[in-house]
Amino acid sequence: MILKLISAAILTGLISGFFITFYELLITFLTYFFFMGDPYKTIPTLPTWYLYALPTVAIFVVNYIISKDKHIREYGVSEIADSIAQNEMILKVKTLFLKIIASALSLSTGFAVGTEGPSAGIGAMIAYQIHRLFRLPQMLVKMIISVGASAGIAAIFVSPITGMAFAIENIAYQFIKQYVTYLILASVIAFAVSINYLEPIVFQHSTGRRLDLDYVIATLLFVPFITAFVYFYLYLKQRLLHMIDLEIFKKFSKYRNYIFALIGGGIVGTILLIEPHAAFSGKAVVNNLINVEQHIPLYFILGIIILRIIGTTVSIYANAVGGIFLPLMSIGALIGYGFAEAFSMVYFNVEPFYFAAIGAAVFMGVLMKLPLTAVILAMETTFDYNVVIATGISVVLVEYLSNLYFDIRRRNVTKTQKSKEKPKSEEKTKAEEGEGA
């Protein structure tokens, strides 16, 4: 049995590494194909009608694909594992390929969703097929799926430890003592494959083990600052889009997906026209902010924050296939950068790229309820104590402050039908946020 598990972990890591690499390269190819080059350079030259038509047509195609196989939309690893363990779901190879196509179409046409959700789902699907191939006991299905999810995250982020932490915080914690070795094996192998083809997020300004007390003081002021934006993000989802979905469109529930596809295509097209950096997954935004050295105007940062928050929430409701890990990181990086710029004006200088790295980890960690993953991501990305310590302090305090008003739950897909059945009193107390990958 041990030999089978080791072989399954190795095979999961290898196949996941190559599949995730193909998935990421496919997104890049389609993005350059649809926008006829680098979108940040070509979008100003493209016709307005094209920028609206492209995401609208793409999201209609994605919704059509989802209508043929509902499991394409499911990228919540714990939900997939539970459903399979209870014999309620069978994942087919066809679903794997359709998920890659649907997600690549969503991401390459400007929808503000991330690659990590589908990557975890792809890894989970591969692991499930290997579980069947090796005829492993049904009791191990959740463990092997967590191994696949870990491999998928490790490959897409080109960060093996982050992949392990993600899987542990999602579903593997109950298996950690018995099966962590296989999780490590698959993550490291998937990472070893992807690092040859994909670029990790790297923090170029690391000072390593040196700790600057100025950043500790600034962090304490950063906590209420970023908490305000967490409230804004949750308020937008819970009060505005949730109301539109459940109240305004209640009478048109049959056409819900078509209506939100039109809304999503129109909003993404508008965002592409206003500022392309507010669209797409946000990886380029994070990389730029944590390493940029020139100052960015505060009004510009605030504008992109608002556009990205709107774009991310609308993309989810429009059924764009993707995660929110990277989009949340990009919003947090913008918030952190803006805070440091404002803080430097009234107190003492702190480098904006430090708080961009802190904000990216904290915003994601709080809204996805992945505090350990946030700290490990900060460590593995920056290798800087100023960022790691500030992230650890902030993610705990911001999560506490956010939970005073919102019930942030780890949720993976907007489930409107179930929400309709809830009493209104319950709806008011629960945020429609907390999607995990």
**What are residue 119's phi and psi, to 5 degrees?**
-65, -45
Q: How confident is the model at residue 296 (pLDDT cuts 50, 70, 90)?
A: confident
- Does this model's pTM top 0.95? My answer is no
Q: Is residue 299 part of a domain?
A: yes
Q: Which of 166, 194, 222 is the last residue of a domain?
A: 194
Report the greatest alpha carbon distance in the chain: 64
Round to whole Å and give the CA distance between 416 and 409. Answer: 15
State residue 432's pLDDT score: 37
State residue 204's pLDDT score: 78
State residue 180's pLDDT score: 77
Clarify whether residues 178 and 232 are in a common domain. no
Clarify whether residues 172 and 235 are in a common domain. no
The strand pairing partners of 411, in sequence order, are: 435
State residue 30's pLDDT score: 96
Q: What is the pLDDT of residues 317-332, one digit of tens each?
A: 888 988 888 899 999 9
Round to whole Å and give the CA distance between 39 and 272. Answer: 9
CA neighbor of 142 nearest in space, from 168, 103, 162, 108: 168
Q: Is residue 255 part of a domain?
A: yes
- Decide if pLDDT at 173 tops 70: no
- Asked if residue 216 lies in contact with residue 389, where contact means CB atoms within 8 angstroms, the answer is yes
CA neighbor of 147 nearest in space, from 178, 119, 114, 180: 180
Q: Is residue 200 part of a domain?
A: no
Clarify whether residues 222 and 138 are in a common domain. no
Clarify whether residues 422 and 290 are in a common domain. yes
The strand pairing partners of 323, in sequence order, are: 114
- Structural domain harbouring 7: 2-194
Residue of higher predicted confidence among 100 and 163? 100
Round to whole Å and give the CA distance between 59 and 98. Answer: 14
State residue 358's pLDDT score: 94
Round to whole Å and give the CA distance between 149 and 141. Answer: 12
Domains in the chain: how many in total? 2
Q: How confident is the model at residue 222 (pLDDT cuts 50, 70, 90)?
A: very high
- Decide if pLDDT at 436 tops 70: no
Q: What's at 410, amino acid-wise? A: R
Q: What is the pLDDT of residues 349-370, one digit of tens each?
A: 778 888 999 999 999 999 988 8
Instruction: Count Cβ atoms below 10 Å from residue 55 Cβ, excluding itself.
Output: 30
Q: Is residue 199 part of a domain?
A: no
Clarify whether residues 401 and 282 are in a common domain. yes
Percent of the chain with pLDDT over 90: 37
* Structure-token pair, residue 217: 């003081």
- Decide if pLDDT at 2 tops 90: no
Clarify whether residues 251 and 146 are in a common domain. no
Round to whole Å and give the CA distance between 370 and 332. Answer: 14
Range with the poorest average pLDDT among 46-60, 163-177, 334-348: 163-177
Q: How confident is the model at residue 423 (pLDDT cuts 50, 70, 90)?
A: very low
Q: What is the pLDDT of residues 125-151, one digit of tens each?
A: 899 899 989 988 888 888 888 888 889
Q: Is residue 155 part of a domain?
A: yes
Domain of 389, CATH number, reads 1.10.3080.10
Clarify whether residues 360 and 416 are in a common domain. yes
Instruction: Look over the chain and give the mean of its residue pLDDT values, rounded to a whole number.
Output: 82
Clarify whether residues 228 and 294 are in a common domain. yes
Clarify whether residues 42 and 172 are in a common domain. yes
Instruction: Count Cβ atoms below 10 Å from residue 181 Cβ, excluding itself.
Output: 12
Clarify whether residues 420 and 346 are in a common domain. yes
Clarify whether residues 181 and 248 are in a common domain. no
State residue 412's pLDDT score: 40
Q: What is the pLDDT of residues 22-59, one digit of tens each?
A: 999 999 999 999 999 999 999 999 999 999 999 999 99
**What are residue 52's phi and psi, to 5 degrees?**
-85, -40
Round to whole Å and give the CA distance between 45 and 25. Answer: 24
Round to whole Å and give the CA distance between 417 and 398. Answer: 31
State residue 174's pLDDT score: 56
Q: What is the pLDDT of residues 186-204, one digit of tens each?
A: 999 999 999 999 988 878 7
Q: Is residue 437 part of a domain?
A: no
Clarify whether residues 233 and 111 are in a common domain. no
Average pLDDT of 108-126?
89
- Decide if pLDDT at 294 tops 80: no
Q: Which of 194, 227, 259 is the last residue of a domain?
A: 194
Q: Is residue 205 part of a domain?
A: no
Please name the residues in contact with 305: beta carbons below 8 A apart, sequence gap of 6 or more: 229, 331, 334, 335, 338
Residue of higher predicted confidence among 315 and 179? 315
Q: Is residue 278 part of a domain?
A: yes
Average pLDDT of 206-213?
74
Cα distances (angstroms) measured from residue 157 to each of 20, 144, 306: 10, 20, 25
